Amino acid sequence: MAGPLPWKTAWVTGASTGIGREIALQLAAAGVKVAASARSADKLQHLGQGVMAVPLDVTDGDACRRAVENIESKLGPIDLAVLGAGTYRPVSLDELDPAEFSHMMTTNYMGVVNCVAGLAPRMAARGSGHLSWIASVAGYMGLPKAAAYGPSKAALISLAESLYPEMKQRGIRVSVINPGFVETPLTAQNDFAMPFLMKPEEAARRSIDGLAAGRFEVAYPRRFVAILKAVRLLPYPMFFRLISRAVLKER
């Protein structure tokens, strides 16, 4: 991070592990007042005294609204939100459980919507603020084993694209963060090679740099993002052949 950051107060959800945790720590180290949320209150306590712990289940819309009110009453207006609460489990054809699909969409997508609903009216009234959320390059296309996870991330990308024009008119920035593979407890479930695997610390740094630069899409690693976007343009027979070889094991 080069130079001072443009925010005074930030709210980070999904801050108990992975990218969210590192973003909260790096923002706090840079002098930003940080409120950190996750379901695990114990893990939030380990973020240090410079971070306000706000335990929260993002699937509870009323709780999200109360969390925003609580944070702003103690730290001041939230001028950056990084909404990273989410879950992941690979799904195979032998384990098509509708409850798993519903849980992932409720947590990953509606969890962001619930937080945005609590934040947007306040930011619009002030005519300023920066809303961002963590989607994934998995939202670019359908991928094997991501039948539950991928659609929730595609929905987040679409949400950002849909809200951006009106939010901009009201003085609110919108950014979507699309990481590639990052070394976290969630990606540890994968049984296939993960190209360009990154550490959470580096992913957090790139996320913050991209947000500070005001980019709509903050996507990394750049080479991996470029490859995936190019693959998505291939005719379906070639696309399915390449993706299947990369992810699926021979049966």
Residues acting as catalytic residues: 149
Q: Cβ distance 133 to 177 under 8 Å?
A: yes
Q: Cβ distance 105 to 152 under 8 Å?
A: yes
Three-class SS state of 189: helix
Residue type, 137: V
Which residues, other chains included, contact 132 with Cβ-Cβ below 8 Å and sequence gap of 6+? 80, 81, 82, 83, 173, 174, 175, 176, 177, 211, 218
Q: How many Cβ atoms sit within 10 Å of the Cβ of residue 239?
A: 15
Which residues, other chains included, contact 157 with Cβ-Cβ below 8 Å and sequence gap of 6+? 135, 139, 140, 176, 178
Return d(Cα 107, Cα 86) in angstroms, integer: 6
Return d(Cα 231, Cα 135) in angstroms, integer: 19
Q: How many Cβ atoms sit within 10 Å of the Cβ of residue 60?
A: 13
> Which uninterrupted H or E stretch holds 210?
helix 200-212
Structure-token pair, residue 166: 């009106």
> Which uninterrupted H or E stretch holds 131?
strand 130-134
